[in-house]
Chains A and B, each alone.
Chain A
Amino acid sequence: MIENRPFSTFLAHLVLCIGVVIVALPLYVTFVASTLSAEQVLQSPISLIPGDQLLNNYKTVLFSGAGNQSAQVGRMMVNSLIMALVIAVGKIVISMLSAFAIVYFRFPGRTLAFWLIFITLMLPVEVRILPTYQVISDLKLLDSYFGLTVPLIASATATFLFRQFFLTMPDELVEAAKIDGAGPLRFFKDVLFPLSKTNIAALFVILFIYGWNQYLWPLLITTQESLYTVVIGIKRMISGGDAATEWNLVMATAMLALLPPVLVVIFMQKWFVKGLVDSEK
């Protein structure tokens, strides 16, 4: 399509620019605030020019903790990372295996199993959070990485996605592998897994961010500061009542918390788009 309408081009760009400003401005303010000193950040209106406390602020939050708590943000980042990685990897492994079973094996109750998984799609974390808490607490798994991650691993969405993907595989591929002498596990490892790579990458990005952003569950399950995730940490830094909140440090923490998901998206963008768009068959 060839278009030569300068005014509409200008208008389109203008709208886009306004959109970018709306999205980017809060991020910019956060960044600026994280470079100011504790006094500067409380001035009104807040300065829009970065200050000189950048290194200081980040050093403080990373290594000595901030606000009314002693936990270091560095520690929280590690906790968040562990949680996000375990959830993402765990979800992918479990859902891929269950989709494999549902699609490629004929066993009694296969349809029932599929529907049970499917029905859980209707129950988000918030709905089943109390019974899950009860189970974890009865198992004495409160305040542990296990309790933090495992209950979030089961995933109907990912199972469903993999099922749909496996169903698009031509039957002949399975049959060719059978004739070549590949057993089910061999087929999974040599054929299904390599072909699912782009899907896995796309899911990993989504699930990593899902895990990283978890708030309610870690809030319930952790009481020790050494297990806090960074999202919880930010909340704890904002003190209610009389104590002053060191907003510059809060903002620095927020910037740090933003970083890993952004990096994951940037580095996996190519794969992510590929996994969503094309099917390699």
Chain B
Amino acid sequence: MAQVEFKGVKKSYGNVDVIHGVDLTIGDGEFVVIVGPSGCGKSTLLRMVAGLEPITGGEIWIDGKVVNKLEPKDRDIAMVFQNYALYPHMTVRQNMSYGLKIRKMSEADISARVAKAAEILELAHLLDRTPRQLSGGQRQRVAMGRAIVREPKVFLFDEPLSNLDAKLRVDMRLEMQKLHQELKVTSLYVTHDQIEAMTLSDRMLVMNSGIIEQVGTPKEVYERPASLFVANFIGTPAMNQIWGVRAGQSLKTDQGDMFHVGEFPSTIDNGGRVALGVRPEHLQLVPEAQARFSIAIQMIEWVGADAYAYGQFANYRVICRLDNATGARVGDRLPLSFDPMRVHWFDADTGKRI
């Protein structure tokens, strides 16, 4: 177990910078999830920790040691890959013990560790099969087993659940959580799936084109997104956004529509351009007279417990969560309001939270 530190870590390929300086400390036993859209540099960051990509600038520390120049095998890490990367010709047992064998561990120790890991992951009855005889979920477990037997200081996961079907992914997610509680090993987990990020992480790190947009607990990130990008990326459906300028106590949208907001943060001057964000679940259906604005329903998505109504206000798409019992239909007008405490303000130019 160990702490992982990033000190001004940078990565560029030739003239192209892909990671623009990351500073972060991951505590001992912490589970940190890096989430972001494809191509944001999240996997690159992970691979730099693993030693599979050279570090262009800055330092990475693992357990109080700079590892920039160390080979992967000397960093005391274990990695789980998206496509599992099991050795196809070896049995599950051989797959799991290969790394230990190279490290010249005694046979007895190896089989003890493999047995223990197999028990944790319920793989004991599969030890003599080859990967191709296993299902996707089982292969995933073997890949985890291969990491566990090493008893490394840090676990690195590169989108480990992306190749599984939806149901299995949920099961494995729960299992990963259980596993982490049991082993308490510092873990770095890369995914593009926000649900995985929210459910698994102690802290999550939202990345966008090589920059960390926000670091925080899932609750912090969801409730106080640091930028428009985070607000958009985390949460399904995405947060509603309305751009406009402050006109007294109202917001005047770019198209000229006005609605009453009430209190503005003191840093927004009259006439200042801002983006207002409000999550679909924070839009309330109110009587016509109290409505701040209204939308005509263009489409309704039923997702079991809830329904989402899609409509338009000024030029902006507005999504509103409805109770299933509402009985609203396409074409209906929805008078909407929100609690001023529940809205987010972003600087229209920088996208930063106000």
Contact = CB atoms under 8 A, between A and B. Distances in A.
Interface of A: 170, 172-173, 175-182, 186, 190-191, 194-195, 280-281
A173 B98 contact: no
Contacts of A170: 83, 85
B77 interface: yes
A170 B87 CA distance: 11
A178 B72 contact: yes
Interface residues of B, number: 23
Contacts of B99: 179-181
B52 A175 contact: yes
B102 interface: yes
B89 A280 contact: yes
Contacts of A175: 50, 52, 72, 79, 81, 85
6 tightest A-B contacts by CB? A181-B73, A172-B85, A180-B99, A176-B85, A172-B81, A181-B102
B287 interface: no
A259 B234 CA distance: 71
A179 B77 contact: yes
A280 B88 contact: yes
Interface string B121-159: 000000000000000000000000010000000000000
A280 B132 CA distance: 9
B78 interface: yes
A195 B99 CA distance: 18
SS class of chain B's interface: helix, strand, loop or mixed? loop
Interface string B57-87: 0000000000000011100011101111111
A194 B130 CA distance: 14
Contacts of A172: 81-85
A187 to B, nearest CB: 10
**Of listed B50, B78, B81, residue having the most chain A CB within 10 A:** B81
A179 B88 contact: no
18 contacts: A170-B85, A172-B81, A172-B82, A175-B79, A175-B85, A176-B79, A176-B86, A176-B87, A178-B71, A178-B73, A179-B52, A180-B99, A180-B102, A186-B102, A190-B98, A191-B87, A191-B89, A195-B89
B167 interface: no
Contacts of A177: 87
Interface in B86-136: 86-89, 98-99, 102-103
Contacts of A181: 72-73, 99, 102-103
A180 B98 contact: yes
